[in-house]
Amino acid sequence: MRTCVAIVHGHAGSGKTTFTGSFKRWADSNLDVSVEVVNLDPAVLSIPYRPIFDIRDYVTAKEVMERYNLGPNGGIMKAVEESERYLDRLFEAIDEGGYDYVLIDTPGIMEVFVGREIGRGIVDRLAERYAVIGLHIMDSSAVTKASEYIYFKSLYVLSGLRLGIPSVPIWSKADKATEVFMRIFEGKWDLREGLSQEPGLYTEAAEKLSEISMELYGAVREVLIDSVSMRGFDTVYDVLHELFCTCGDLT
C-alpha cells in the first residue's frame, strides 16, 4: 500500500502542532493502521509528539539567523529553504517504517511554507513518492463575523491551489467556537445575510469569494474538531481515508 502523507498547514495560531500530536495519540488508540508524524518547522521550540523525522536535527531558524545575520522572519524563511537539502533523509525515515499515514507539521507562519515556492517544491517532491493530501487547519474561535469566515475559507482554497493538492478543511478549537461560527457551520445563518450586515467596499467581493470556495470545494466535508478532547478526529480520518482512496491506491 502506498503511504499517504498529510501536510498539516494553516494560519499561525490555528492549532496545527497541537492537532498533529493529538491525532497521533488518538490514532494509536483507535485505528488499526500505522500513523506517524514529522516536524518540518525549524523555528518551533517544543512539540507534543515524538517525530520520526525532525528538521531541527539538521537546521534551525536560530542557527540560520546567527549564520546569516538575519531577523526572525528572514531566518525562518532561509531555514525552510535549507530544509529541502534533507528531504532524502525524510524519505528514508518514511520508507523504513512502511507507515500507512504520515502527518507533516509545517511552519507556524503559513506564508513561509504555503506562500513561497519552496513549499510547493517540497510538496511536489513528496508527491513523486507518496499520495499527498492537505489538512488545512482554521481557528473557529477567530470567526466573529461572516466576512471572517469567508476570509479563512478563501485561505483554504488558495492554499490548496498554491500547493497543488486536495485538502480537508478542518476548523479547530470547537470548545471555543464563536456563536457566529456555529450558526454558519450548522447552516442556520446564510452568509449573504451576514454580509448584508457588513456594508463596505469589499462586501460584493466577499460574496463572490464565498461562491467560489463552495463551488471548488463543496464536495469535501468541513470538519469541526477539538484537539484536547479529540472530538471530530474520527471524522477527520474518514475524510482523509476517502481522499486517499481517490488520490492514492488504498483499497
Q: What one-character-per-residue DSSP string does the chain give?
A: -PPEEEEEEESTTS-HHHHHHHHHHHHHHH-SS-EEEEE--TT-S--SS--SEEGGGT--HHHHHHHHT--HHHHHHHHHHHHGGGHHHHHHHHHHHT-SEEEEEPPSSGGGTTSSHHHHHHHHHHHTTSEEEEEEEEEGGG--SHHHHHHHHHHHHHHHHHHTS-EEEEEE-GGG--HHHHHHHTTSS-HHHHHHTS-STTHHHHHHHHHHHHHHHTTSPPEE-BTTTTBTHHHHHHHHHHHHHHHS---
Report yes or no on 45 lying in a domain.
yes
Q: Is the pLDDT of residue 251 over 50?
A: no
170: containing domain: 4-246
Q: Is the pLDDT of residue 202 over 70?
A: no
Supply the pLDDT for residue 116.
86
Supply the pLDDT for residue 200.
67
Pairwise pLDDT comparison (157 vs 105), residue with the higher score: 105
Report yes or no on 251 lying in a domain.
no
Report yes or no on 223 lying in a domain.
yes
Supply the pLDDT for residue 201.
59
Q: Is the pLDDT of residue 217 over 60?
A: no
Q: Is the pLDDT of residue 82 over 60?
A: yes
Supply the pLDDT for residue 2.
86
Q: Is the pLDDT of residue 189 over 90?
A: no
4-8, 103-107, 173-177, 200-204: range with lowest mean pLDDT: 200-204
| CATH (domain of 59) | 3.40.50.300
74-83, 112-121, 179-188, 242-251: range with lowest mean pLDDT: 242-251
Q: Is the pLDDT of residue 250 over 80?
A: no
Supply the pLDDT for residue 234.
97
4-13, 133-142, 158-167: range with lowest mean pLDDT: 158-167
Q: Is the pLDDT of residue 248 over 70?
A: no
In this prediction, residue 216 has a pLDDT band, given cuts at 50, 70 and 90, of low
Pairwise pLDDT comparison (250 vs 7), residue with the higher score: 7
Pairwise pLDDT comparison (8 vs 157), residue with the higher score: 8
In this prediction, residue 215 has a pLDDT band, given cuts at 50, 70 and 90, of low
Chain mean pLDDT for the chain: 89
Averaged pLDDT, 234-240: 94
Q: How many domains does the chain have?
A: 1
pLDDT in tens, 16-36: 999 999 999 999 999 999 999
Report yes or no on 178 lying in a domain.
yes
Q: Is the pLDDT of residue 188 over 90?
A: no
